[in-house]
């Protein structure tokens, strides 16, 4: 799948920080059951690689990617694990859209966006969205950067996700609210499915 096709699958991409790989499969199944099939597992914990492998192997219908990809070797590691996409919080020097796995790079300013467009990217993560200007920044970017489309992440929640999704240059949003840490720790998969179902209905 192309990155554009992946981002079009659901209005919300869960951003998952998994501390225990044993949670990966039931968490993934709960999110997919709620209609969120694109899952970003961040490379922020020792359990991340194992969680990604387990989700890819055992969660039917899931499109699994790696988040917090900070350099080219981490992008390659995501590909080696079998990820279908990778997400970076910023622009990785020298990286291009073509590579071992599709990359969604982060930007926070017009200068970074111009550098990303010059490198051949057209799909970006606005991060941290709430600090980088939120919906106001995206509205301002739309006219001068007509080719760019975004997945805002950082400060996006159930309360404001619809405002982002209503913008013409927003493909989807990323957020952690659909998989609260307390629900994951407690194994409250029904709650997570319910939150995912509510999030999957946000598309205008």
Active site residues: 40, 125
Cα distance between residue 21 and residue 105, in whole Å: 26
Distance of alpha carbon 128 from the chain centroid: 12
In sequence order, the 6+-apart residues with CB closer than 8 A to the CB of 191 are 180, 183
Among the listed residues 82, 95, 162, the one whose alpha carbon sits nearest the alpha carbon of residue 124: 95
- Asked if residue 194 lies in contact with residue 179, where contact means CB atoms within 8 angstroms, the answer is no
Parallel/antiparallel/unpaired status of strands 38-42 and 12-16: parallel
Contact 12, 199 (CB under 8 A): yes
| C-alpha span between 30 and 102 (Å, rounded) | 25
Strand positions, DSSP E, the chain:
12-16, 38-42, 63-67, 85-87, 103-104, 106-107, 123-126, 149-150, 173-175
The answer to whether 107 and 125 are in contact (CB under 8 A) is yes
């Amino acid at each position: 799948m192309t990155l554009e096709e992946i981002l079009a699958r659901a209005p919300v991409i869960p951003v998952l920080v998994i501390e225990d790989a044993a949670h990966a499969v039931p968490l993934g199944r709960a999110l997919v059951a709620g209609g969120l099939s694109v899952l970003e597992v961040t490379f922020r914990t020792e359990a991340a690689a194992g969680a990604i492998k387990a989700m890819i192997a055992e969660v039917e219908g899931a499109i699994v990617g790696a988040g917090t990809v900070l350099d080219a070797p981490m992008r390659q590691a995501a590909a080696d694990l079998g990820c279908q996409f990778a997400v970076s919080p910023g622009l990785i020097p020298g990286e291009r859209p073509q590579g071992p796995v599709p990359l969604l790079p982060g930007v926070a300013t017009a200068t970074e966006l111009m550098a990303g467009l010059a490198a051949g990217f057209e799909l970006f993560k606005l991060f941290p969205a709430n600090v980088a200007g939120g919906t106001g920044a995206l509205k301002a970017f739309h006219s001068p950067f007509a080719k760019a489309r975004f997945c805002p992440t950082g400060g996006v929640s159930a309360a404001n996700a619809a405002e982002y999704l209503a913008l013409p240059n927003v493909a989807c949003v990323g957020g952690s609210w659909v998989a609260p840490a307390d629900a994951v720790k407690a194994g409250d998969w029904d709650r997570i499915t319910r939150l995912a179902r509510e999030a999957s209905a946000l598309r205008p």
